[in-house]
Amino acid sequence: MIQVTLSYKNREFVQLEDSFLAQIAENTKKLLYALLEDIYDLLIQEKGHFRINLDNHPKIEVEGFSSGLQDQIERTLRGEYDYDY
């Protein structure tokens, strides 16, 4: 199971009220899923969590996945496509 939480100004949101931020958040989720499509089967086997920070310095935090899978996720997010299937 994959859980995605959006964070803005140190508050976590399931749904953003500001339509502009909500649109950015939704596009960010879609891009995240597209980036991780190759390892999606591995992702759904674990109970991990992505926290997408939308503040001045946007970042994606990865938590709760096994260390090997977390390394693969982080390499993918950096653009290094060297998978250990």
Average pLDDT for the chain: 80
The pTM for the full model equals 0.71
65 in Cβ contact with 48 (< 8 Å): yes
- Range 22-30 average pLDDT: 78
Pairing of strands 11-13, 59-63: unpaired
* More confident call, 83 vs 24: 24
Q: pLDDT by residue (tens digit) across 34-62? A: 888 888 888 889 988 888 887 778 888 89
pLDDT of residue 27: 83
Q: Under a CB-based contact definition with an 8 Å cutoff, are residues 61 and 51 in contact?
A: yes
